[in-house]
Each structure stands twice: as C-alpha cells, then as structure tokens.
Amino acid sequence: MEEKNYAPIAVDLEKDKRYAWCTCSHSANQPFCDGAHRAHNKPPSLGFTVEEDKQAYLCTCKKTGNPPYCDGSHNNN
Ligand code: FES
C-alpha cells in the first residue's frame, strides 16, 4: 500500500468569510474544496467560518477529530 505523509497546511483565515474544507482528499486546492468530490461521488465539503482573523493549521489527512483543524491525527497511522 502506498504511504503518503500528510501534514497540516497553515492558512490565514478572515473573520466571517465562508470557507469550504475538502473532506474527500481529491481536491487539487488542499485544504480547500475545488468540487472534485462530485466526479468521485464523495461527500461534499465542510463549510466553516471563523470569528476573528487568524492563522490556522487545516487538516489534509482527513482523519482529524476536529475538522477542519489538524489535531495531530496525521501522526497516527
Ligand atoms: S493533517 Fe493533522 S490531523 Fe490531519
């Protein structure tokens, strides 16, 4: 089985802006949705906003228990 090393992506998030976090791993615009889930018949993105401008580490492994944020689960294979 192919192993891929995942790591969170640091992004600058703006207060009240609506974001769509990729839940299916197929987006070419990680960690955000690019609509690729439709072609792969996968669940849609997770929409979220933040209450203040901030930098955050968004999950790319899709195993986080606190989506869309990295919770360190990428270290647990
Ligand atoms: S990238 Fe860290 S939990 Fe997914």
Residues 6+ apart with CB under 8 A from 36: 22, 24, 26, 27, 28
Q: In Å, how far from its chain's centre is CA 8?
A: 8
In the chain, the amino acid numbered 3 is E
Query: Could you report the per-residue pLDDT of 14-55, keeping only the tens digit for each?
Result: 999 999 999 999 999 999 999 999 999 999 999 999 999 999
pLDDT at site 9: 97
What average pLDDT does range 63-67 have in this prediction?
A: 97
DSSP letter assigned to residue 39: H
> What is the whole-number distance in angstroms between the Cα of residue 54 and the centre of ligand 1?
18
> What is the whole-number distance in angstroms between the Cα of residue 5 and the centre of ligand 1?
10
| Structure tokens belonging to residue 21 | 């976090």
CA neighbours closer than 13 Å in the CB half-sphere of residue 65: 5
Which atom of ligand 1 is least distant from the CA of 60? Answer: 1
> What is the whole-number distance in angstroms between the Cα of residue 73 and the centre of ligand 1?
5
